[in-house]
Chains A and B, each alone.
Chain A
Amino acid sequence: NAGVTQTPKFQVLKTGQSMTLQCAQDMNHEYMSWYRQDPGMGLRLIHYSVGAGITDQGEVPNGYNVSRSTTEDFPLRLLSAAPSQTSVYFCASSFLGGEAFFGQGTRLTVV
């Protein structure tokens, strides 16, 4: 099993550029989520989904969009990158009520 796969692992963007972070899971999990991790602030929830076609905002959703057209995929879109979005991004998936499994992360730098 591949588990949770995130791409790319590293990315540098210029301010104002847009991009999509990819996340795929092969465990048939209903729940998928995106977090950002910044020093001293822990993991903060950006968006989450409880199933295909259903998404909702987390703690820090501004500047990000998501969609969930299939159970397996949950891409995160940065609409117009800003330096404040420099961070490490993690995708996670779980069965509802179960432990979360995380991808390896995407380290994003916005210059």
Chain B
Amino acid sequence: EDQVTQSPEALRLQEGESSSLNCSYTVSGLRGLFWYRQDPGKGPEFLFTLYSAGEEKEKERLKATLTKKESFLHITAPKPEDSATYLCAVQATTGNQFYFGTGTSLTVIP
């Protein structure tokens, strides 16, 4: 069964304190792994897609990496505006559905 597990559930960081969010996945064949950001009261907003182990993507203070079993979202020198819930999802080669994790709620304190 395709599954996605994210950790930690919640993370509080001081402004400038770098850290990483984890997304572990089990999928029959990986078509893609997706990272989203969700602000309160809004729909998820796409950040990155990773397709194969070893791939990395960067956007401002965020960097996503992928291995055969997990993905990390590294946040470097975060700012309060990075506070949000970060969602991870996988799509298997056998279908078109996305399987989402429950997310990591990030709070960055000024």
Main secondary structure of the interface of B (DSSP, over half): strand
Complex Cα spacing A33 to B96, Å: 10
| Interface-facing stretch out of A38-46, A60-68, A72-80 | A38-46
Tell me if B44 and A90 are in contact (CB < 8 A): yes
Contacts of B32 in A (CB 8 A): 97, 99
Complex Cα spacing A71 to B96, Å: 16
Complex Cα spacing A5 to B91, Å: 23
Complex Cα spacing A105 to B44, Å: 9
Provide the B90-104 mask, 1 if CB < 8 A to any CB of A, else 0: 010000111011110
Main secondary structure of the interface of A (DSSP, over half): strand
Tell me if B34 and A100 are in contact (CB < 8 A): yes
Q: Spell out A's residues near B (CB within 8 Å).
A: 4, 31, 33, 35, 40-45, 48, 50, 58, 90, 92, 96-105
**Interface presence of B42 (CB below 8 A):** yes
- B14-46 interface with A by 8 A CB criterion: 31-32, 34, 36, 41-46
**Interface presence of B64 (CB below 8 A):** no
Tell me if B43 and A42 are in contact (CB < 8 A): no
Tell me if A42 and B31 are in contact (CB < 8 A): no
Beta-carbon nearest neighbor of A45 in chain B: B97
Beta-carbon nearest neighbor of B41 in chain A: A105
Complex Cα spacing A92 to B44, Å: 9
Complex Cα spacing A50 to B89, Å: 18
Report if A100-B42 is in contact (Cβ < 8 Å); known contacts: A42-B87, A42-B103, A43-B87: no
Beta-carbon nearest neighbor of B42 in chain A: A104
Report if A58-B49 is in contact (Cβ < 8 Å); known contacts: A90-B43, A103-B43, A105-B43: no
CB B99 to nearest CB in A, in angstroms, measures 8
Contacts of B100 in A (CB 8 A): 35, 42-44
In-complex Cβ contact of B44 among A41, A44, A50, A102 (8 A)? A102
Tell me if A105 and B42 are in contact (CB < 8 A): yes
Complex Cα spacing A45 to B100, Å: 9
